[in-house]
């Protein structure tokens, strides 16, 4: 079948149908009406009539959406009833316009096409004869008319359908083989549902997840067609099937995976055979989201797995086989398709011991009162913020909170108390961070704080991506695979997310939390949107204004130069700056971050500084004191390590080192600070926050060196001063409240 | 509403820069490049810098590393490169095609771009690549004149190297076809996707030269009922094969054979990049 690895993309095509029973009808989407009928039969529907030609799922579901919208309308308004009356009057005209359903055509096509359906599916009978009566079926006419109109407005109707528009009718299936197939599938269905719970995945990803579980737990790999099984679960109501990209009208698409509708590109598609198939450029790196590619989701907050017995099983049980299921002896009843493996694993599941999901659910119920275990006590400021967060979690109406902390104030630990509370209640928590290395750094800390909790880390190349765990630490990109799974989502360093402020992040995070779940944003530098939300009281604010050592955050000094002078490729450093650097290193034994706006400048300035440190006032160290790094530097990790181990004093870098690196004794110099494109307020605050982080040297100097004073420089200074003020008011600053300038 | 109008107006008068398709930085950051490629200046410089210290084979345009002594002795700028250099493969056996051109060696940024296109599915990378390939055609196309800028290539058809059907299904596009489309936009030559692959061959990437040749033998054929017609509606006498990477020339040689048999007189090859050989 498939199995081409990651690239395998499955195209799902189907049609919108009208299921009809006595006195009721229902609109749905299917790729195989036989499946739908087996479920719908139980609700008393007898036939399924296709309303559209076969379409890629993105188009079909749009049509379905629109039609369902209409059906709501139809029920509500009397006006619509009269419209129907009018339609009946105009049916002759419609017929001549070929958009009502010419009766002759209908008869011809229905018999002809349902025969082909028989051939294809090996099941299905031609249904009730009443469609062949001479009266036009009003309901059917109405719906097919509407469907055709929608399709036409999108120009999705192939030319061959312009004249004759075939309605396929599928009747109920009464063969024994199908039912027994379904029953054997029940175990597989459960495996599938457990794998998918709380996630939104492509079929390829589901296959990978299943394979992972199959390898680890020796569970059977589902034997049936996965699409069909998913469809069955969808009919029951458990799984939701989305197209990864849905149409919103003619030539307008929206990617349901990353939520944006701007970067939609057109290409021809080999799989669905259309010249004009759409795909999303925004989340291409995470796999192609495409008009014909389905996404499957199972909400984590509707308790499908917990209530499997009541909610799902009855649908698939026929009276003959239900007893067999309860006694867990599948091998007796299952027919040809069931294998020995599936039946053996079936019993193991039903006994409910081996599958770790079960353990995990049980572990939820235990109480761990001791969480979180911290290796050091929280400071006053942290303590208060932590309490504030708990209060917010308990009482407030806002489901979103902002933790605004000074750089280096220890945001991460503040959230632990809130996390612990939810974990104790048996909830699931997501801790999302911007980068992979932060995930790796955070994992041991969290493991230590919450012993006994199942923790999974997710990043680009992480193994065991599809494990279910109570606490998930992930990079933002990975969050895109979750669907209503978490009670609490903590977003650390919101401002540093790769697609900062993008719809994708917001969309993914909002989708990953449960409907009643809460979100905590943590940042040192909230953007104006967040500040505005706080003002409007849509976002609860918790501040941690002081660092743990109780000294204020170093406030930046603005140093203005007339111009930057170059001697060929050498930057001529201002004397003031050279003296400052010299004093820092040889007088104060500290290190200096030197930030520059571009990769090119990092190289130039780095080389220049190497030259400059050879002359006075420095002793000549042959330039070994200076290293430079940037995003294209293959050795940047090594240099980061070396610098944090204090192996060299001057580090010239672009803003890649603006966060996540802590050295005990550091000063900060920002060169070319007038460059507003690169240095916005938040970058400047982060860079300034590198200084004075340790108890050993809780003060530091921050120089913004530029040719003019920009708005972002002013704003950055204002923000830092404001937080310091806040800390002073609350009395967290037990160190000197005066600004310390040991070097001045 | 007002805000929307305001942003629209701003966009009209001060349009935001497009992103460079290669490095994804906004074009304004390092400036738009010369030429029609639509890349940023940084990227184009980087691609041009790839060719430093390399010479091209005169016959197949593959790249060859300059001998070390030569590099060391090169003090003056105008020291002449060894002009008449032909690579081993070509001197052993004259290639069947008339000429081959490419943008640069399969290294660095160019390699990254081709990987993005092939394996990450970033189709929009094909556009700048195709434009640069078209530029190569304009530069090196033989006998072009003011009256006939195509020169010998007048009335030629662009023929993308096909993928096998299975691979095409799993990748969902043929990168050579996308490149050919983009070249066609620049050069007004028609694209004829007439070749098909017969068997499923092993991926070429990890095979040696002779293995490659054997692996590919009899691989291509003309699609059933396909006729090679140029824009004038006549049988095309000149064909330009379009591919992503030229390594040993095995693929294009095989394809050339098929085209020769179907009545094409001269075959040229244009690829996005070429390997570095000896």
SS (H, E, C) A576-598: HHHHHHHHHHHHCCCEEEEECCC
Report if residue B232 sits inside a domain. Answer: yes
Judged by CB atoms closer than 8 Å, whether chains meet at A265 and B121 is answered as no
A565: phi then psi, degrees, rounded to nearest 5? -105, 135
The answer to the question of residue B106 being in a domain is yes
Q: What is the CATH number of the domain that holds B180?
A: 3.40.50
A555 near A525, Cβ under 8 Å? Answer: no
Q: How far is CA B254 from CA B102, B259, B261, in A?
A: 19, 9, 11
> Chain A contacts of B171, Cβ < 8 Å?
7
A8–B170: do the CB atoms touch at under 8 Å? yes
Mean pLDDT of the region A710-718: 89
Q: Is A278 within 8 Å of A245 (Cβ atoms)?
A: yes
pLDDT at A237: 81
Residue A1 has pLDDT above 60, yes or no: no
Closest chain B residue by Cα to residue A675: B29
Torsion of CA A339, A340, A346, A347, to 10 degrees: 160
B4 touches chain A (CB under 8 A): no
Contact A270 B124 (CB under 8 A): no
Question: CB–CB of A265 and B124 under 8 A?
Answer: yes
Residue in B121, B168, B172 closest to A284 by CB: B121
**Residue B40 within a domain:** no
pLDDT in tens, A38-50: 778 777 788 888 8
**Chain A interface disruption, residue of B23, B26, B118, B121, most A CBs within 10 A:** B121
Q: Which residues pair with A401 in a beta bridge?
A: A520, A540
Q: Tell me the chain B residues in contact with residue A270 when contact means C-beta distances shorter than 8 Å.
A: 168-169, 172-173
A270 contacts chain B (CB < 8 A) = yes
CA-based nearest residue in chain A for residue B163 = A270
Inter-chain residue contact B171 with A7, CB threshold 8 Å: yes
Q: In this complex, do B169 and A271 lie within 8 Å of one another by their Cβ atoms?
A: yes
Q: Which range of residues forms the domain containing residue B133? A: 87-201+210-277
Q: Which of B29, B172, B176 is best to mutate for the A interface (most A CBs within 10 A)?
A: B172
Altogether, the residues listed in chain A come to a count of 744
Residue at token pair 């050919």: B180
Going by pLDDT thresholds of 50, 70 and 90, the confidence category of residue A266 is: confident
Task: State the average pLDDT over residues A380-405.
Answer: 84
Query: Is residue B13 one of the residues assigned to a domain?
Result: no
pLDDT above 70: residue B68: no
Averaged pLDDT, A730-735: 73
Give the phi and the psi of residue A668 in degrees, each rounded to 5: -130, 135
Collapsed DSSP state (helix, strand, coil) of residue A456: strand
Nearest residue of chain A to residue B122 (CA atoms): A284
Cβ-Cβ contacts under 8 Å, B124 against chain A: 265, 281
Beta carbons of A271 and B171 less than 8 Å apart: no
Furthest-apart CA atoms within chain A: distance in Å: 105
How many whole angstroms separate alpha carbon A453 and alpha carbon B125?
A: 45
pLDDT tens-digit profile of A626-661? 889 887 788 888 888 888 888 888 999 988 877 767
Chain centre distance of CA A606: 39
Tally C-beta pairs within 8 A across A and B.
28
Distance of CA A569 to the CA centre of its chain: 46
Judging contacts by C-beta atoms under 8 Å, the chain B residues touching residue A267 are 123, 173
Instruction: With respect to residue B141, please indicate whether it lies within any of the assigned structural domains.
Output: yes
Q: Is the pLDDT of residue A342 over 50?
A: no
B98-108 burial, b at 16+ Cβ within 10 Å, e below that, comes to: bbbbbbbbbbe
At B233, give phi and psi (nearest 5°).
85, 10
Beta A471-475 vs A429-433: how paired, if at all? parallel
Tell me, what DSSP letter sits at residue A672?
Answer: T
The pLDDT value given to residue A123: 34
Q: Note the pLDDT tens digit of each residue in A571-623.
A: 888 888 888 888 888 888 889 999 998 888 898 899 888 888 887 777 777 76
From the list A225, A308, A208, A195, the residue with the least C-alpha distance to A31 is A225
Cα separation, A629 vs A631, whole angstroms: 7
Give the pLDDT confidence of A538-573 residue by residue, as tens digits: 888 888 888 878 888 888 999 898 888 888 888 888
Whether the predicted pLDDT of A501 surpasses 60: no
Contact B171 A265 (CB under 8 A): no
Q: What would the mean pLDDT of B166-180 be, rounded to a whole number?
A: 89
- The secondary element (H helix, E strand) that includes residue A200 is strand A199-202
Nearest CA-CA partner of A400 in A389, A409, A410: A389
Q: Rounded to whole angstroms, how far apart are CA atoms B115 and B2?
A: 44
Given the DSSP bridges, would you call strands A199-202 and A294-298 parallel, antiparallel or unpaired?
antiparallel
* Nearest Cβ partner for B172 among A5, A269, A281: A269
Q: Answer yes or no: is pLDDT of A103 > 60.
A: no
Q: CB contact, 8 Å: B41 with chain A? A: no
Q: What is the mean pLDDT of residues A432-452?
A: 83
Interface probe, candidates A263, A284, A499, chain B, greatest B C-beta count within 10 A: A284
B147 within a domain of the structure (yes/no) = yes
Is residue A341 pLDDT above 50, yes or no?
Answer: no
Whether A181 has a pLDDT exceeding 70, the answer reads no
Half-sphere exposure of A625 (CA within 13 A, CB side): 26
Q: Higher-confidence residue: A53 or B260?
A: B260
More reliable by pLDDT, B230 or A699: A699
What is the spatial distance between Cα A256 and Cα A511, in angstroms, rounded to a whole number? 11
Secondary structure class of A420 (helix, strand, coil): helix
Show the tokens assigned to A702.
């921050």
Distance separating alpha carbons of residues A511 and A504, to the nearest angstrom: 11
Residue environment code for A360-377, b if the CB has 16+ CB neighbours within 10 A, otherwise e: bbebbeeeeeebbeeeee
Q: How many Å apart are CA A167 and CA A17, to the nearest integer?
A: 9
Residue B67 has pLDDT above 80, yes or no: no
- Of the pLDDT bands very low, low, confident and very high (cuts 50, 70, 90), residue A499 is very low
User: Which phi and psi (to 5°) does residue A512 adopt?
Assistant: -75, -20
Confidence bin at A129 (pLDDT 50/70/90): very low
Please report which confidence band the pLDDT of residue A669 belongs to, taking 50, 70 and 90 as the band edges. Answer: very high
User: Does ipTM surpass 0.85 in this model?
Assistant: no
What chain A holds in terms of domains, given with CATH numbers, is 5-170 (no CATH), 176-244+293-354 (no CATH), 380-544 (3.40.50.300), 557-730 (3.40.50.300)
- Rg for chain A (alpha carbons), in Å? 32
Contact B172 A285 (CB under 8 A): no
CB A407 within 8 A of CB A553: yes
Question: Do A546 and A698 meet the contact criterion of CB atoms below 8 Å apart?
Answer: no
Helix A57-76 and helix A78-89: axis angle, to 10°? 110
- Give chain B's mean pLDDT: 84
What CA–CA distance (Å, rounded) separates A32 from A15?
Answer: 9
B133, part of any domain: yes
Which 87-106 residues of chain A touch chain B by CB within 8 A? none
Percentage with pLDDT > 90 across chain A: 3
Does residue A9 belong to the interface with chain B, where contact is any CB pair within 8 Å? yes
**Secondary structure (3-state) at A353:** coil
Task: Look at residues A222, A220, A218, A246 and name the one whose alpha carbon lies nearest to residue A233.
Answer: A222
What distance, in Å, lies between the first and last C-alpha atoms of chain B? 64
Q: What is the mean pLDDT of chain A?
A: 75
User: Does residue B102 sit within a domain?
Assistant: yes
pLDDT: which is higher, A130 or A244:
A244
Please tell me which residue, A741 or B44, carries the higher pLDDT value: B44
To the nearest whole Å, the CA of A71 is away from the closest chain B CA by: 32
- Cα–Cα distance between A466 and A545 in angstroms, integer? 38
Q: Name chain B contacts of A9, Cβ cutoff 8 Å.
A: 170, 172
> Residue A718: is its pLDDT beyond 50?
yes
pLDDT at A77: 52
Q: Tell whether the model's pLDDT for residue A105 goes beyond 80.
A: no
Q: How many domains does chain B have?
A: 1
Pairing of strands A557-560, A455-458: unpaired
Rounded CA-CA distance B220/A359 in Å is 57
């Amino acid at each position: 079948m498939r199995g081409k690895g990651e690239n395998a993309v499955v195209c799902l095509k189907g049609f919108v149908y009208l299921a009809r029973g006595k006195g009721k009808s229902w609109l749905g989407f299917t790729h195989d009406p036989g499946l739908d009928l087996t479920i719908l039969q139980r609700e008393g529907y007898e036939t399924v009539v296709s309303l559209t030609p076969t379409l890629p799922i993105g188009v079909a579901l749009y049509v379905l959406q629109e039609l369902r919208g209409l059906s709501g309308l139809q029920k509500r308004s009397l006006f619509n009833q009269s419209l129907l009356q009018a339609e009946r009057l105009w049916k002759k005209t419609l017929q001549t316009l070929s958009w009502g359903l010419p009766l002759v055509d209908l008869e011809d096509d229905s018999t002809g096409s349902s025969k082909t359906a028989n051939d294809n599916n090996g099941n299905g009978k031609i249904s009730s004869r009443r469609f062949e009566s001479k009266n036009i079926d009003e309901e059917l006419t109405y719906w097919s008319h509407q469907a055709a109109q929608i399709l036409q407005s999108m120009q999705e109707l192939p030319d061959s359908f312009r004249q004759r528009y075939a309605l396929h009718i599928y009747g109920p299936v009464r063969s024994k083989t199908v039912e027994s197939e379904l029953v054997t599938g029940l175990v597989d269905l459960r495996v599938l549902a457990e794998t998918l719970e709380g996630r939104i995945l492509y079929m390829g990803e589901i296959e990978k997840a299943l394979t992972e579980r199959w390898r680890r737990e020796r569970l059977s790999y589902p034997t049936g067609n996965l699409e069909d099984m998913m469809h069955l679960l969808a009919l029951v109501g458990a799984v939701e099937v989305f197209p990864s990209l849905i149409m919103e009208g003619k030539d307008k698409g929206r990617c349901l995976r990353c939520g944006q509708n701007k970067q939609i590109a057109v290409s021809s598609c080999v799989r669905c055979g259309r010249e004009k198939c759409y795909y999303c450029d925004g989340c291409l790196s995470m796999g192609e989201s495409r008009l014909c590619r389905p996404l499957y989701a199972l909400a984590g907050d509707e308790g499908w797995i917990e209530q499997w017995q009541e909610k799902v099983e009855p649908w698939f049980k026929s009276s003959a086989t239900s007893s067999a299921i309860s006694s867990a002896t599948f091998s007796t009843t299952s027919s040809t398709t069931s294998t020995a493996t599936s039946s053996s694993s079936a019993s193991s599941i039903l006994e409910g011991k081996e599958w770790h999901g079960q353990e995990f659910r049980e572990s939820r119920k235990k109480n761990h009162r001791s969480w979180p275990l911290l290796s050091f006590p929280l400071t006053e400021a942290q303590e208060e913020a932590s309490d504030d967060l708990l209060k917010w979690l308990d009482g407030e109406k806002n489901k979103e909170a902002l933790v605004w902390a000074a750089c280096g104030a220890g945001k991460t630990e503040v959230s632990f108390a809130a996390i612990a509370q939810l974990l104790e209640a048996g909830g699931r928590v997501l801790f999302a961070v911007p980068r992979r290395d932060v995930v790796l750094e955070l994992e041991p800390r969290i493991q230590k704080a919450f012993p006994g909790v199942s923790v999974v880390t997710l990043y680009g190349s992480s193994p065991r991506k599809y494990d279910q765990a109570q606490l998930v630490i992930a990079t933002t990109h990975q969050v895109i695979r979750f669907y209503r799974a978490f009670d609490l989502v903590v977003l650390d360093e919101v401002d540093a997310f790769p697609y900062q402020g993008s719809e994708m992040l917001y969309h993914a995070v909002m989708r990953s939390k449960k409907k009643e779940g809460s979100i905590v944003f943590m940042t040192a530098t909230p953007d104006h949107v967040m500040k505005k939300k706080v003002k409007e009281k849509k976002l609860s604010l918790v501040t941690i204004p002081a660092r743990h050592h109780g000294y204020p955050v170093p406030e930046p000094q603005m140093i203005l130069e007339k111009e930057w002078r170059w001697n060929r490729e050498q930057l001529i450093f201002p004397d003031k700056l050279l003296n400052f650097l010299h004093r820092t290193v040889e007088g104060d034994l500290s290190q200096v971050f030197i930030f520059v706006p571009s990769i090119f400048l990092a190289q130039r300035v780095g080389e220049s500084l190497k030259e400059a440190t050879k002359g006075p006032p420095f002793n000549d160290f042959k330039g070994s004191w200076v290293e430079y790094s940037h995003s294209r530097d293959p050795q940047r990790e090594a240099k980061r390590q070396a610098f944090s181990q204090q192996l060299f004093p001057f580090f010239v870098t672009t803003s890649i080192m603006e966060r996540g690196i802590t050295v005990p004794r550091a000063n900060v110099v920002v060169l070319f600070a007038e460059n507003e494109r690169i240095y916005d307020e938040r970058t400047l605050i982060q860079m300034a926050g590198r200084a004075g982080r340790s108890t050993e040297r809780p003060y530091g100097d921050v120089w913004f060196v530029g040719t003019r004073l920009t708005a972002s420089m002013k704003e950055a200074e204002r923000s830092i001063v404001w937080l310091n003020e806040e800390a002073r008011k609350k009395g967290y600053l037990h160190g000197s409240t005066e600004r310390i300038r040991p070097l001045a | 509403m007002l805000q929307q109008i305001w942003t629209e107006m701003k966009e009209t008068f001060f349009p935001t820069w497009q992103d460079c398709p290669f490095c994804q930085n906004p074009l304004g950051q390092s400036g738009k490049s010369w030429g029609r490629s639509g890349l940023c200046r940084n990227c184009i410089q980087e691609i041009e810098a790839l060719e430093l210290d390399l010479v091209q084979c005169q016959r197949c345009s593959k790249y060859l590393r300059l001998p070390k002594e030569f590099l060391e002795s090169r003090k003056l700028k105008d020291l002449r490169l060894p002009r008449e250099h032909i690579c081993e493969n070509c001197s052993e056996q004259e290639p069947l095609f008339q000429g081959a051109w490419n943008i640069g060696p399969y290294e660095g940024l160019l390699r990254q771009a081709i990987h993005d296109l092939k394996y990450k599915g970033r189709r929009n990378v094909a556009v700048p690549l195709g434009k640069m390939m078209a530029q190569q055609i304009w530069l090196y196309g033989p006998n072009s004149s003011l009256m006939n800028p195509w020169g010998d290539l007048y009335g030629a058809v662009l023929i993308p190297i096909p993928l096998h059907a299975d691979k095409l299904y799993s990748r969902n596009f043929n990168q050579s076809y996308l490149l050919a489309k983009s070249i066609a936009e620049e050069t007004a030559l028609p694209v004829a996707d007439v070749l098909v692959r017969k068997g499923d061959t092993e991926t070429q990437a990890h095979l040696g030269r002779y293995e490659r040749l054997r692996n590919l033998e009899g691989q291509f054929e003309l699609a059933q009922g396909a006729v090679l017609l140029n824009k004038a509606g006549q049988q095309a006498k000149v064909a330009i094969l379009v591919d992503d990477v030229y390594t040993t020339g095995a693929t294009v040689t095989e394809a050339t054979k098929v085209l020769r048999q179907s009545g094409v007189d001269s075959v040229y090859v244009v690829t996005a990049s070429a390997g570095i050989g000896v």
